[in-house]
Amino acid sequence: MRAAALLLAVALAATVRSATAAPAPLSSLDVQPLPNDSGQHLHVTWTRTAAPAPGTATVILRARPGAATPDLAPGRKLTAGDALGPWTVVGVLEAGELDLTDEIEADTSYLYAGAEVLRAADGAITEASPVTTIGPRAAEAALFHRQRTAYLVIVLAIGLLIYWYVRAARTKKDLYIRRLPGVDAIEDSIGRSTEMGRPVLYVTGLEEIQNIQTIASLLILGYVAEKTAQYDTDLKVANYYPLTMVVAEEIVRQGYANAGRIDAYRPENVLFITAEQFAFAAGVNGIILRDRPATNIYFGTFYGESLLLAETGFLTGAVQIAGTAELTQLPFFITACDYTLIGEELYAASAYLTRDPVLLANLKAADAFKIAAMIFIVVGVALATAGVFDLGAKVFP
């Protein structure tokens, strides 16, 4: 009886084994460099000769030229990154994928191999198709990112407009720039601080020195420092990052030097508060409540703490001027501050303050480009609405 059962089990196992056909090999295995690539990626594609059975996985391997065909013997467990002799497993794909992107060493050629495998529950290969190989192939490093052509054109166009307007500014001195009441109010508010005998507080925002809003803020800080030096008023500068503080220190010192009041410069007034958002807000609020500055200037990048700062300043009765390109914080500043520079006005402020024709020419160039952008948008919207041409998708793929 026991022998009969054993025979039956062996027969059943043989039937199941013969019913599970060996996977078919991959066809059309291809390896191509990616466009606009750094030269460190290859795109591997393949097709299948037959629909894969459930549980089939595709194994893709890579090796240096000269390697023998890899042996995907039953019993092996493979995962991405494993070494198989000279071959490295690039991927074991189970979801029916037909391509993958492989990250490789630059300036190196590789052979690629692919096969379909059936695996047991523990991941061990039970059956493998014949291995298909291709290569050697190498990635291509592009010298220009073609999909970014439109962005380069924008930068070059603005550059050309700046050049043109700077040339024009050298001959024609009176360039019209619309008033920026928030920037005009800076000197008035410093004067008010002087009359009240209270300091001016300047916050450089919550981003690092390489952030363009922080840079714009620091450019304005030079002017504010010069004015406070002229008015003999204390200027306190609150910084979120120490590197910003170091640069702000130098800018304030230079502002005092430009005003001929280097003796009045107090380095301890340029403060590093902390690089933690709400701890920074607490620190600056402490300064506002203890020192009662008559003017609070918030220029730079701000986040959730913007209203905490501006409302506290409002409660102390200070004149408050804010400027940021952070859309979500603008409503808070507009509500709680006396003047708010919206977006581009923050970038324009330093040029506006100096009244240097060359810098004003820069603003005119930006304005001219804005007009061009508006025309582009109107034309694009009209063409797309009429169903003639999708200009936006073509220019910015």
Q: Is 242 near other proteins (CB under 8 A)?
A: yes
The yes or no reply on residue 272 touching other proteins (CB under 8 A) is yes
Quote the tokens at residue 375. 């025309």
Task: Pick the binder of other proteins from 63, 111, 113, 162 (CB under 8 A).
Answer: 162
Nearer to other proteins, 57 or 252 (CB): 252
Annotate each residue in 182-211 with x if it binds other proteins (CB under 8 A) or - if it does not, as one string.
Answer: --------------------------x-x-
Distance in angstroms (rounded) separating the CA atoms of residues 91 and 88: 9
For the bound state, the minimum distance from the C-beta of residue 352 to other proteins, rounded and expressed in Å, comes to: 12
Binding other proteins (rule: CB under 8 A), the pick from 212, 379, 381, 382 is 212
**DSSP 8-state secondary structure symbol assigned to residue 22:** P
Q: Exactly one of 4, 16, 143, 388 binds other proteins (CB under 8 A); which one? A: 143
Q: Which of 59, 61, 115, 218 binds other proteins (CB under 8 A)?
A: 218
In this complex, which beta carbon is closest to other proteins, that of residue 17 or of residue 266? Answer: 266
SS (H, E, C) 239-259: ECCHHHHHHHHHHHHHHHHHC
Residue 160, Cβ neighbours under 10 Å: how many?
12
And the tokens for 75?
A: 């019993």
Stretch that binds other proteins, among 74-82, 112-120, 146-154, 384-392 (CB under 8 A): 146-154
- Rounded to whole angstroms, the Cα distance separating 201 from 204 reads 10
Window of 19-27, 60-68, 89-97, 238-246 that interacts with other proteins by CB under 8 A = 238-246
- For residue 25, the minimal CB distance to other proteins (Å) is 34
**Residue 40, CA distances (Å) to 19, 84, 99, 107, 137 in order:** 43, 22, 17, 8, 12
- In this complex, which beta carbon is closest to other proteins, that of residue 12 or of residue 152? 152
Q: Is 219 in the site for other proteins (CB under 8 A)?
A: yes
Crossing angle between the packed helical segments 306-315 and 277-291, to the nearest 10 degrees: 10
Stretch that binds other proteins, among 38-46, 71-79, 180-188, 199-207 (CB under 8 A): 38-46
**Is residue 109 at the binding interface for other proteins, with CB under 8 A as the rule?**
no
Q: Which helix (H) or strand (E) holds 97?
A: none
155 part of the interface to other proteins, by CB under 8 A: yes
Residue 182's nearest CA partner among 323, 74, 73 is: 323
Q: Which is nearer to other proteins, 125 or 259 (CB)?
A: 259
Per CB under 8 A, contacts with other proteins among 5-34 are none
Is residue 21 helix, strand or coil? coil
| Residue 254 engages other proteins in binding (rule: CB under 8 A) | yes
In the chain, helix, strand, coil percent, each to 5?
A: 45, 25, 30
Give the residue among 302, 309, 253, 323 at the shortest CA–CA distance from 281. 309
Residue 159 as a binder of other proteins (CB under 8 A): the answer is yes
How far apart CA 85 and CA 211 sit, in angstroms, is 48
Q: CB of residue 329 vs other proteins: minimum separation in angstroms?
A: 12
Taking the least distance from each CB to other proteins, the nearer of 141 and 393 is 141
**In the block, residue with structure tokens 């020195």:** 209
Spell out the alpha helix ranges (H) of the chain: 2-19, 149-171, 181-196, 212-231, 242-258, 277-291, 306-315, 330-336, 344-354, 357-386, 391-395
Minimum distance between the CB of residue 155 and other proteins, rounded to whole angstroms?
6
Q: Considering only residues 313 through 372, tell me which ones interact with other proteins, judged by CB under 8 A.
A: 325, 327, 330, 332, 334-336, 342-348, 350-351, 354, 358-359, 362-363, 365-366, 369-370
Q: Which of 8, 14, 94, 278 binds other proteins (CB under 8 A)?
A: 278
